[in-house]
Structure 1
């Protein structure tokens, strides 16, 4: 049983997420270590995947390099709303084999066997294609109370991607391009037993998180808990037990922090319960709230300084005006001079990477 202070738990989590002083070498190495990079196209500042990778790699990262790795090199692929390295494909195959998981979706897929075959044939002949380029010939319409209601072609494509029969070949300004899986995924992917794959995924997840609960809130695609892998730990001042990566515990003395601006969809802040328990940090993405009810802003970025979250950045990239407009820097605790200078430098670095001038940032 490891007995950790909150500071030690924070440092394990920050270092595991590649947000300590030592930066990773490249995009593939970064995604491999993180296991997943969230894909959220909202670009108030930049798409989430780009922010996540920039916060790790710094100025050498360019979005065009990620596009090349996805669309040409096929070293990275998209599945379940995340970018992943192609090396992880064998670990996902057992899960693909049991998708879709809901009875309603399985019955709809069976009822539309002809529609499914027609889509696969159309992609084989003409792919990659956008959903709008594929005729809707569904025998039974998809019924939903949400935005997917009667969007049969897109719903079928989504299911076939989850099943590994179709793959996302790339993206353009109009959205995703779909193709048959064999033109995107390697043909010789290793076959792994379902139990072994699940355990390896949990081990990789723990390595990327550093510390996690054995059981957490269920997630539709990518879990935030790790089961029995790793070793047991308690964190001072926090109820319950945790699972921790023993290698991360052994390397605690090597921690050196830095300042980082994170995407609201970053895995370090994604588990809000862990965020509050270990970092004692409150965060909520407010872009779905009416403007009058927002405390921190439409797309406020969590501000990490060392092993603590110290505030939120309310900013927007105004590309037409050529500026990164800073509306507010919310300080959870008053910044000292060193913290303020470090945060301002990071904001300017973000603007430089975006090719914008800063507006609203105090001069150094």
Structure 2
């Protein structure tokens, strides 16, 4: 099979199935979390918590009865997953640690230049001191080490210790032992990763071999993806258009990737050869259920792809000035089967209070039937269990129904 031809509708359905967003669920429990991360390579991390962190919102949409403590256990007790740099700040399987040596090296040179521009290059001189401090005193927050120094600019770190420890984390000297809310508690990497993982050597004999692994892996982060600049290609090496085109062609020639033609879209799409068997599942029907998507969900990484395939325009507006927002601060898309039918803005939720919905917007093309409303309410019941909320507020029903 050299090239596959599918319709937009088939691609939508494939992406939903591949991403584990259909019902009944593909991934279950702790093992399901690990299997899902292994399939897609990485999940993007963001510390904002309105109705859960982005990473927990990703997992609640795929894992039945998911709770954040499940991820915490896998990361900071079982050490099955690890914080690291991939598509921005992410989590990935610890088995990938050795494979990311070139990324850590690239981050090293990038951060050294960044610290220089922020007049904070002095932070690098404290690497040995911090290693010694942690070896003697144990894991700690950056605030526990006082190196002095002024603030490193409005977009920099508040203290030299923060800048130094972030640098050490990115290049692989430190790892995250645990998180206290959004703050990282750092430890020496040898105290975080199992010895057998740390002893693994970089498996690539050349940069080219690494590129092939990394580009193919990123295709798998989405499922089927195109060769045009977009959010799915964010990251070191991946955003280099000429290199990317060369590597994708080589992977096709070697049978590692297959070309996919999507009717009505004038772009080259690719799928990993080992995932192509899943296209057979497109003939199977799955239950049409509603699911709330995370703002940085793998399915939404490329906004242009989402517009072309799902006919849904989405922008995460948390960093957009209030006066320029089209919708709201923290807005979640609503998936129904293989279509995105609405979006909503929740209020910040904590504790067991009712969940408040500030705004709800149906897509113009959505036919709002009793069945659709019932599925939305059922999804909110699951979402409230995830949040440990007592349920939807009375006003929320009126907002959703437009009354």
C-alpha contact 1:71 1:170 (8 A) present in aligned 2:
yes
Structure-1 separation of matches of 2:148 and 2:109: 24
Match of 2:269 in 1: 242
3-state secondary structure, aligned to 2:195: coil
Q: Are residues 1:161 and 2:169 paired?
A: yes
Mapped contact 1:16–1:208 kept (Cα < 8 A)? no
Q: TM-score under structure 2 normalisation?
A: 0.80
CA contact (8 A) 1:16 1:207 kept: no
* Post-superposition offset of 1:352: 2.3
Q: Deviations over 1:36-58 (max 9, x none)?
A: 12222212111111111111002
User: How has the CA–CA distance of structure 1 residues 345 and 292 changed in structure 2, closer, same or farther, with 3 Å as cutoff?
Assistant: farther
Retained in 2: the 8 A contact 1:136–1:152?
yes
From 63, 84, 88, the equivalent of 2:68 is 63
Deviations 1:172-195 (A, max 9, x none): 136111111111122222321154
CA-to-partner distance for each residue in 1:90-126, whole Å, 9 max, x for gaps? 2212322343233624868986553111112112222
The match for 1:53 is: 59
State which drifts further: 336-345 or 148-157: 148-157
Q: Could you tell me how far 1:261 is from its partner in structure 2?
A: 0.2
Aligned match of 2:254: none
Which is worse superposed, 268-277 or 315-324? 315-324
Query: Match for residue 14 of structure 1?
Result: 16
Equivalent position of 2:218 in the other structure: 205
Which aligned pairs between 1:322-337 and structure 2 lie closer than 5 A? 322-332=353-363, 333-334=365-366, 335-337=368-370
Q: CA deviation at 1:321?
A: 7.0
* Length, aligned pairs only: 360
CA contact under 8 A between 1:317 and 1:323: conserved in structure 2? no
Deviations 1:293-320 (A, max 9, x none): 4333221111111111111022124436
Partner in structure 2 of residue 309 of structure 1: 340
- Indicate if the aligned counterparts of 2:228 and 2:267 stay in contact, CA closer than 8 A: no
Is the CA contact 1:15–1:255 (under 8 Å) kept in the aligned structure 2? Answer: no
Tell me, what secondary structure is at the counterpart of 1:99? helix
Q: 1:104 aligns with which of 109, 113, 119?
A: 113
Q: Which residue of 1 is the match for residue 34 of structure 2?
A: 28
Q: Distance in 1 between the 2:146 and 2:74 partners? A: 30
What runs of 5+ residues in structure 2 fail to find an aligned partner? 252-256
Displacement of 1:142 after TM fit? 8.7
Distance 1:223 1:269, change over 3 A: farther
TM-score (norm 1): 0.88
User: Are the counterparts in 2 of residues 286 and 298 from structure 1 also a CA contact under 8 Å?
Assistant: yes
Distance 2:129 2:310 in 1: 51
Aligned to 1:96, the other structure's residue is in SS state helix
Deviation at 1:290, TM superposition (A): 4.0
Conserved in 1, the CA contact under 8 Å of 2:44 and 2:90?
A: yes
Q: CA RMSD in A?
A: 2.8
Counterpart Cα distance in 1 of 2:237 and 2:21: 21
Q: Distance in 2 between matches of 1:122 and 1:110?
A: 20
Deviation at 1:136, TM superposition (A): 1.9
- Partners of 1:222 and 1:173 in 2: CA distance: 32
* Kept in 1: contact 2:123–2:163 (CA 8 A): no
Residue 182 of structure 1 aligns with which residue? 190
**Structure 1, unpaired ranges of 5+:** none
Distance 2:45 2:220 in 1: 21
Higher helix share: 2
Deviations 1:66-107 (A, max 9, x none): 112111111111112212121221221232234323362486
User: 1:265 aligns to what?
Assistant: 296
Counterpart check, 1:219 vs 2:234:
yes
